[in-house]
Amino acid sequence: MNNDIFFEFISEFQRFVATRREDPTLRYSAARWVVDRLMAMYPERRLGVRLWNQRSHRWERVAVGGLDLSRYQDITEDPRLIAFIDSIRWKKSPVFLKISEIPVIQCPEFLIEEHIRELWIYPLYDEQKIVMGVLALYWRQSPSEVLEEQSRWENVAQAVGMMMQWVMFLESQQTVTNRMETLLAVTEAAVLYIRNGTVAYANDRFLQLWLLERKDLSRPLDRLMRKMSERITDGSSLLMELSAAGDWDHVVEMKGMPPRYIRCRGKVLTTDASGQAAEHVAVYTEITEEVAVKKERDAFLSLIAHEFRTPITIIVGLADWMTQSGEDLDPQVAHNIRVIWRESDRLGRLIREIWTVAQMQAPDFTIKLEPVDMVALIQEELETQERLSPGRSWRYTGLSHAMVSGHQELLLLIIQILLSNANRFSPAEHPIDIDLVDEGDMVRLAVADRGPGISRSMARELFHRVPDSLHRPATGGIGLGLYLSKRILDKMGGSITYQTRPNGGSVFLVRLPRAFSP
């Protein structure tokens, strides 16, 4: 096979495979094409191709030409023939057999019945030089130019090996693609894969979700993004995220009635020399039902919290008045009134937390920042805590004056949450330490207790979601308050962190921007 014929052979094969990339039996149809093409070039030859199946650990006869082997039922599994082929795997070199020199007991019967005089077997290598198959030639007449024929068919075997490598690579790619398509179909996720500024892959769900056609994917990326942006209320976010070098995760609202909501998540896989995204994948999931349920839940919580605030405030106020003016009451009655006041105050704080969480879900929720005296807020809450828990010792150290940038009512809520949690979880005989220090542009509040601490698994998600009932301690939940505290502080430009206290306990650290005088 000269170079011109070789290149034409390869080109025809590539065109053949290109039309059958999604064929699940591609290796078999490709091997049959190779054998048929070789038979057209060398009609006097008799050929066979076998491939090694890694899963079944067996040789598969995938194509044959010039021989009618249909009447030989057991030829595929004939151990004598398999022994010849197997020797190729270990020797990794061609095997040339003269049938007359093979003992009858070791010679497959069909070779004798088909009057085969010589059997040449050439290995087909994969990219790692491992034998993945064989090309077999069956000679009824021994060739006159043996060395020339052996050299020619060695070159043919190399070409066939290269072609079958490509086919098996495409098969493995298609297998991964098929599995991904199945996975994406189950999850109903829309996927867009972008490489070097062009769309390398997009599934049908992506087209359906964004009301696009397959031809839209061949457009320049900026035009595709603009067309997608036209579908949502704020299209600038799509253009920004795809030009950035970082990951993203947010929700967009689709235009139309009723509105639909899409969660957009993206991950940069590689970046170019300038730091821009060179390769990334975006996953879009419709969450309209989830958003509707969340809105109904938030509206319900807001309604309940609003309706409960007034009666709870009245109960707390009356109970507080009775505890301070009931000096002549029976001790048991006085104790019961104090319990009513303490528990109603605790319920009132919980309702305020729920109310605040519900309010913060609104997309237009903002916090108006103002200078706040942090020391005064801490002292105010300490006085309340001392009345709620008369036997508890509180130790305040640090600044005597500190103005921070925040919202007074919300900062008081955060202090209430931290001190209430420390009081709830720390043994009564251990004092709770509150420290306020200057950190330059920031002011840091530390609340330290001697409670049981928080497990490592729970600490990872402490501020990021409201834990379910299985994760709440028996003494009462801390998830809602800490979750709310982080949300509030994020909007104020502050932060909250947790660390384990030496010798047992927890320390919560709140940092807030200092309010400087104009």
Which domains are present in the chain?
3-179 (3.30.450.40), 188-286 (3.30.450.20), 289-364 (1.20.58), 366-518 (3.30.565.10)
Q: How confident is the model at residue 303 (pLDDT cuts 50, 70, 90)?
A: confident
More confident residue, 166 or 465: 166
Of the listed ranges 59-73, 135-149, 410-424, the least confidently predicted one is 59-73
Q: What is the mean pLDDT of residues 282-300?
A: 83
Reading the block at residue 135, the tokens are 């090309």
How far is Cα 135 from Cα 162, in angstroms, rounded to an integer? 13
How far is Cα 361 from Cα 344, in angstroms, rounded to an integer? 26
Supply the DSSP symbol for 93: S
- Angle of helix 479-492 versus helix 331-360 axis, rounded to 10: 50
- Angle of helix 374-388 versus helix 331-360 axis, rounded to 10: 140
Q: What is the mean pLDDT of residues 196-223?
A: 86
Checking if the pLDDT of 177 tops 70, the result is: no
Checking if the pLDDT of 88 tops 90, the result is: no
Nearest-CA neighbor of 29 among 49, 9, 46? 49
Checking if the pLDDT of 491 tops 60, the result is: yes
Nearest-CA neighbor of 242 among 184, 212, 199, 273? 199
Give me the pLDDT at residue 74, please.
Answer: 52
Q: What is the mean pLDDT of residues 61-80?
A: 70
pTM of the full predicted structure?
0.47
Q: What are phi and psi of 249, to 5 degrees?
A: -160, 105
CB-CB contact of 60 with 77 (8 Å) = no
Tokens 């104090």 appear where? 338
Task: Return the percentage of the chain with pLDDT > 70, whole number.
Answer: 87
- Which amino acid is present at 478? I
CB-CB contact of 40 with 15 (8 Å) = no
Q: How confident is the model at residue 474 (pLDDT cuts 50, 70, 90)?
A: very low
Q: What are phi and psi of 320, to 5 degrees?
A: -65, -45
Give me the pLDDT at residue 326, please.
Answer: 62
Q: How confident is the model at residue 376 (pLDDT cuts 50, 70, 90)?
A: very high
Task: Return the percentage of the chain with pLDDT > 90, whole number.
Answer: 14
Q: Quick one: how far is CA 467 from the chain centroid? A: 21
Give me the pLDDT at residue 482, please.
Answer: 86
Nearest-CA neighbor of 476 among 394, 420, 410? 420
Q: How confident is the model at residue 245 (pLDDT cuts 50, 70, 90)?
A: low
More confident residue, 517 or 377: 377
Q: What stretch of H or E contains 184?
A: helix 146-187
Give me the pLDDT at residue 236, please.
Answer: 63
Checking if the pLDDT of 294 tops 70, the result is: yes
Checking if the pLDDT of 72 tops 60, the result is: no
Of the listed ranges 111-115, 186-190, 293-297, 397-401, the least confidently predicted one is 186-190
Of the listed ranges 120-124, 172-176, 314-318, 385-389, the least confidently predicted one is 172-176
Give me the pLDDT at residue 240, please.
Answer: 58
Give me the pLDDT at residue 200, please.
Answer: 84
Nearest-CA neighbor of 401 among 369, 434, 384, 379? 379
Checking if the pLDDT of 503 tops 60, the result is: yes
Q: How confident is the model at residue 475 (pLDDT cuts 50, 70, 90)?
A: very low
CA within 13 Å, CB half, 12 = 13
- Average pLDDT over the chain reads 81
Checking if the pLDDT of 181 tops 80, the result is: no
What sign does the dihedral 6-7-12-18 (CA atoms) show? Answer: positive
CB-CB contact of 302 with 355 (8 Å) = yes
Q: How confident is the model at residue 266 (pLDDT cuts 50, 70, 90)?
A: confident
Q: How confident is the model at residue 237 (pLDDT cuts 50, 70, 90)?
A: low
Checking if the pLDDT of 469 tops 50, the result is: no
- Which amino acid is present at 227? K
Return the top range by mean pLDDT from 91-105, 189-203, 324-338, 442-456.
442-456
Give me the pLDDT at residue 128, please.
Answer: 76
How far is Cα 402 from Cα 442, in angstroms, rounded to an integer? 10
Give me the pLDDT at residue 1, please.
Answer: 56
Question: Which ranges of 389-451 would DSSP assign to H, the alpha helix?
Answer: 408-425
**SS3 (DSSP) at 2:** coil
Q: What stretch of H or E contains 53?
A: strand 46-53
Nearest-CA neighbor of 96 among 115, 119, 117? 119
Give me the pLDDT at residue 470, please.
Answer: 46
Please count the other Cβ atoms lying within 10 Å of the Cβ belonging to residue 429.
Answer: 9
Give me the pLDDT at residue 454, please.
Answer: 81
Q: How confident is the model at residue 403 (pLDDT cuts 50, 70, 90)?
A: very high
Q: How confident is the model at residue 333 (pLDDT cuts 50, 70, 90)?
A: confident
CA within 13 Å, CB half, 468 = 1
Reading the block at residue 324, the tokens are 């301070």
**SS3 (DSSP) at 430:** coil
Return the top range by mean pLDDT from 145-154, 185-194, 296-305, 359-368.
145-154
- Per the rule left: phi > 0, alpha: psi between -120 and 50, beta: everything else, 172 is alpha
Contacts of 143 (CB under 8 A, 6+ apart): 118, 149
Contacts of 115 (CB under 8 A, 6+ apart): 140
Return the top range by mean pLDDT from 24-33, 64-73, 291-300, 436-445.
436-445
**SS3 (DSSP) at 513:** strand
